Homo-oligomer: A and B are copies of this chain.
Amino acid sequence: MNLLIDEKLKQAAGLLEEGDADLWLTLVRESSRTHDPILDYIFEGHVVWPSAFMVTRSREAFAIVGSLDALSVESLGTYKVIPYVQSFRESFLPFLEKLGPKKILINYSSETATADGMTHGMYLYLQEILQGTPFRERLHSSQELIGSLIGRKSQEEVGRIQRAIDATLGLFEEVTRLLKPGMTEKEVAAYLSQRIEENRWKPAWDVETCPAVFSGPQKGGAHSSPTDKAIQRGEVVNIDFGLMIDGYVSDLQRSWYLLAPGEKEPPEGLKKAFRVLIDSVDLAVKALKPGVKGVEIDSLTRNHITSQGYPEFPHALGHQVGRCAHDGVALLAPPWERYGNIPELTLEEGMVFTVEPRISLPQWGVVTVEEIVKVTPQGGVYLSKPQKELILVG
């Protein structure tokens, strides 16, 4: 029995009740190829054949799976497993008829990838199976359930995120001792990758951009890989990096400044920009309370930065972290078309967000921090010890 999975399945049953729904259905196949992200929260491993993982409002969990997949689902000890050989529908339809759900939640959402694990082909397959039954008209998006299910972190989950954060901050301290002019971005990244391997951790996202290391004025932006460029005095270095430990991740950024010859501290313009950045983070963190919309938090930070004459950062202020670096549904984001309605969702207690504004400075590079913060009724609580000053390299 996996305690985290058990916890999530119980939570899901409660959320069905909150949402007045009767059944939550995760319908997948070849799950190692097209992978419903929610499957990681409710099952370990993969299934090959069409499979239904289901939670009912009466707090039962059922799985209808191909016979060859049955043992691995049974061994989890959480689901009542109904195996089939030839036909999924011949097991699935009688199950539905017996349960008689009035409202069925399935995993699709045009607004967020997290709740959008069902492929269009599987949707058509389900439609076809349900043809001529009343259930076809009872399908609804599980976006709200998934948003709360992933968002409301348990103590165990927060503890795991905390461990990933602490280890990441420890490695950032090592970077501070390591950094010197002439090192290439790739050399810094290689050091961190080496330390990950030595500790048998994993990078929180793709190894190509985890860590991402940037120095000086830049073109690529947050998702590009470290280069052979040598780090120079008078440049800002920033690193975007996270670890996965025990299945949970961190996602953090720090900024360093390599003092130019003769400098004892950063130039005034750079110091001022960093101060504005940190103040803008504080504004967001204070406001991170249940019931507030993500777009409101984003705009506090965004407006503070632009009001000081800096350009707007070209991305969302923050996202949730958990099983992966872009976790959860609610987002601290501006009302841009590409985010759909997600910025309008309200925060819930226990959600864990990054806060990551940035200011691009043509002379020195990009100043940025990325903190991790938990939502509480009193406002955000830092899980990461926040960066308050540029880290100076002499």
Contact = CB atoms under 8 A, between A and B. Distances in A.
Nearest to A327: B33
Nearest to A117: B34
Residues of A contacting B: mostly: loop
Contact of A223 (B36, B72, B122, B208): B72
A24 to B, nearest CB: 16
Contacts of A32: 205-206, 324
A49 interface: yes
A125 B49 CA distance: 27
A338 B86 contact: yes
Contacts of A243: none
Contacts of A123: 120, 123
Contacts of A84: 338
A71 interface: yes
Given A116-B122, A122-B116, A324-B32, A314 B67 contact: yes
A110 B114 contact: no
Interface of A: 29-30, 32-37, 45-46, 48-50, 66-72, 75, 84-90, 108-125, 128, 205-206, 208-209, 219-225, 314-315, 324, 326, 336-338, 340
Contacts of A324: 32-33
A326 B48 contact: yes
Contacts of A114: 30, 33
Contacts of A33: 35, 37, 113-114, 324, 326
A85 to B, nearest CB: 5
Contacts of A340: 125
Contact of A72 (B67, B125, B224, B338): B224
Given A119-B118, A326-B30, A125 B113 contact: no
Nearest to A314: B85
Given A68-B314, A117-B119, 5 more contacts: A30-B326, A33-B324, A34-B113, A72-B225, A88-B338
A239 to B, nearest CB: 16
B337 A45 contact: no
Contact of A121 (B50, B66, B90, B108): B108
Given A33-B113, A208-B45, A108 B120 contact: yes
5 contacts: A33-B113, A71-B224, A84-B338, A88-B338, A118-B120
Contacts of A220: 71
Max chain B Cβ within 10 angstroms of own Cβ: one of A34, A36, A70, A221: A34
A128 B88 CA distance: 32
A314 B88 CA distance: 14
Nearest to A206: B46
A245 to B, nearest CB: 18
A315 B66 CA distance: 10
A66 B71 CA distance: 42
A134 to B, nearest CB: 21
Given A32-B206, A33-B326, A48 B223 contact: yes
A109 B88 contact: no
A110 B87 contact: no
A85 B223 CA distance: 13
Contacts of A337: 86-90
A144 to B, nearest CB: 14
Nearest to A218: B71
